Structure 1
Amino acid sequence: MVHVRKMNGTDVEAVSAIRVRGWQSAYAGILPRSYLEAMTVEDDAARRREWFSLPHRRSVDLVAVDGANRWGGSTTGRPGARCPTCVRGRSTRCTCVPA
């Protein structure tokens, strides 16, 4: 069963891997190949860790998990109702691919 919970520091690498792979797959043929190939999990994870360290950020970041598998999901900004599948209407942006 998939469970949605608040994202924490131990989720950063897995969510970054999902995000980078998702972008590379979804935007192939749309964005320049060089841009997509330059994306790395390490760079994305570093930016995400920096984001988590901001003391006054106003977003809620969520992750969908099924046992040890992280299926992804990150929200930025104010919660909305764009992704009912992932977070039951509580995400404004979500990426879902198996980890």
Structure 2
Amino acid sequence: MNFTFEGVTHAVYSERQRQDIKWGSQRHLDDTLWATILGEEYGELCEAILERDEEGMVKEAIQVAAVCFAFLEQRGFRVPPEDEGCYEQA
């Protein structure tokens, strides 16, 4: 992997594409579920670090970054919960 800004950005972008193909639209997920997904990926990154698995560290760090991007992307598509009143997009 190319560890320049461009190389890392490309790797995260490619991972986002892979996630979208694998999981489809995740716009319906709430913040708690996003936190769970991110926590799972972060846990895998920590495990790779503890095992000194360089390839695993890179792979998992890219996945953590991609999940953060996905979380931010879906913010613009949030659907208001049924039990709340007026919804304003941030």
Question: What's the TM-score, normalizing by structure 2?
Answer: 0.29
Which protein is bigger by CA-based radius of gyration?
2
| Higher normalized strand content (fraction of residues) | 1
Question: What's the TM-score, normalizing by structure 1?
Answer: 0.27
| Higher normalized helix content (fraction of residues) | 2
